[in-house]
Homo-oligomer: A and B are copies of this chain.
Amino acid sequence: MKAYGKIDWAFAAGRIPFLTHGREPEMTSHDKIAVLNLSGEEAVLEICIFYEDEAPKVYEVKLRPRRLKKIRFNDLIDPEAIRMERNFSCFVKSNVPVVIQYSRMNTGSGTNAEMTTMGYPVDE
């Protein structure tokens, strides 16, 4: 299969909700990206987190060929964890083309709210 997708993706409206209610793990508040690697090679992602008032931090995540990976932002802990309720943006650079979708579940007020958008392929 042709390696469909793009190598550079961005989205801007990240924020990990602090408040959470309901059955775990289905209803746990979170902020995440889902990455689909349609290529035949391992994808090595450089995830760069931007802040309003501090220099960006870089995280590395790997992804098998012809597989997907959902990455919850609270699982990114090296070099440092992203604090909850802090605004951040995300820029992802991959060695092979991938497709990235952003989504959030927020159960902070007792029921679940969900939102999603395809990322923006900045190398277009």
In terms of DSSP, what is the predominant structure of the interface of chain A?
A: strand
- What is the interface size of chain A, counting residues whose CB is below 8 A from a CB of the partner? 64
How far, in whole Å, are A100 and B8 apart by their CA atoms in the complex?
15
Check A11 against B52 for contact (C-beta < 8 Å). Answer: no
Check A12 against B26 for contact (C-beta < 8 Å). Answer: no
Check B52 against A70 for contact (C-beta < 8 Å). Answer: yes
The 9 closest A-B pairs by CB, nearest first: A12-B34, A13-B34, A36-B89, A4-B122, A12-B101, A68-B89, A12-B36, A13-B101, A109-B111
B-binding residues in A (CB < 8 A): 4-5, 8, 10-14, 17-19, 21-23, 26-27, 32-36, 38, 50-53, 55-56, 66-70, 85, 87-89, 91, 99-124
